[in-house]
Amino acid sequence: MGTKRVRFGQESQENSAIGRDAGQESALAGLRGQLDELDTAILRHLERYGRATNYEVGEAVGLSASAASRRIQALEASGAIRGYRAQIDDRLLGKSMTVYIRVTLERQSAAVLAAFEAAVRRSKGITDCHLMAGHYDYMLVVRVADIDDYGRLHQSELSRLPGVVRLETSFALRDVLDGSA
């Protein structure tokens, strides 16, 4: 009774690497006004405890396991919950260095942006990509083993991204706060 695990499909690389497209953004904008306090509480609980059972989610927000399950399924169907994933300590996979790369493109036409974003989505080395306001066009985040590993990634992928005129790289000395944990 009520100990079923909350499960859902894996987050797509497209969503995790680059974010949502304009259609998803407009759908989520409409959804924001429809979320009530319980939905918001469920989302916050699952964000922190992604493996929580329906019973545990219900206990946390004041619902029965079956009511929590119905709401979770509705949140999944609406796109409010895009998926579940394990957060792996990259150091165990030999990737102990976080690198931030600021990207300047030759111009900001729709074609240049689309080509760049498509290439980033195909990249196996880039973990995050954000379109920025301000001095740079994009901020990329990669995890590598060491400076030599970054050199290989730079040569094989980063320097070949379409439309790029400048890459400026910074290396994190240590992680102080990781908001994804």
**126-131 and 164-171 beta bridge pairing:** unpaired
For range 149-155, the mean pLDDT: 97
Instruction: Look at 103 and 93; give whichever has higher pLDDT.
Output: 103
Residues of the chain with CATH 3.30.70.920: 90-171
Inter-residue contact 91 to 151 (CB < 8 Å): no
- Range(s) of the chain covered by CATH 1.10.10: 13-78
Residue 53 tokens, joined: 């059972």
| Amino acid residing at 38 | L
Is domain 13-78 classified as CATH 1.10.238? no
Quickly count: other Cβ atoms within 10 Å of residue 65's Cβ: 18
- Euclidean distance between CA atoms 62 and 105, whole angstroms: 50
Torsion sign, CA atoms 174, 157, 18, 43: negative
pLDDT in tens, 100-121: 999 999 999 999 999 999 999 9
Whose CA is closest to 57, among 78, 73, 42, 37?
42
Report which of 145, 42, 53 is spatially closest to residue 93, judged by C-alpha positions: 145
Band (11; pLDDT cuts 50, 70, 90): very low
Q: What is the pTM of this model?
A: 0.69
Specify the pLDDT at position 91.
86
| pLDDT at 168 exceeding the cut of 90 | yes
pLDDT band at 181 (very low <50, low <70, confident <90, very high): low
User: Would you call 176 helix, strand, or coil by DSSP?
Assistant: coil
Please provide the CATH number assigned to the domain covering 90-171.
3.30.70.920
The helix (run of H) or strand (run of E) holding residue 141 is: strand 138-144
Which pLDDT score, from 0 to 100, does residue 176 have?
87
Burial of 150 (0-12, 13-18, 19+ CB in 10 A): buried
pLDDT bin (cut points 50, 70, 90) of residue 174 is confident
Res 16: pLDDT: 38
Give the per-residue pLDDT at 87.
Answer: 83
Contact 16, 64 (CB under 8 A): no
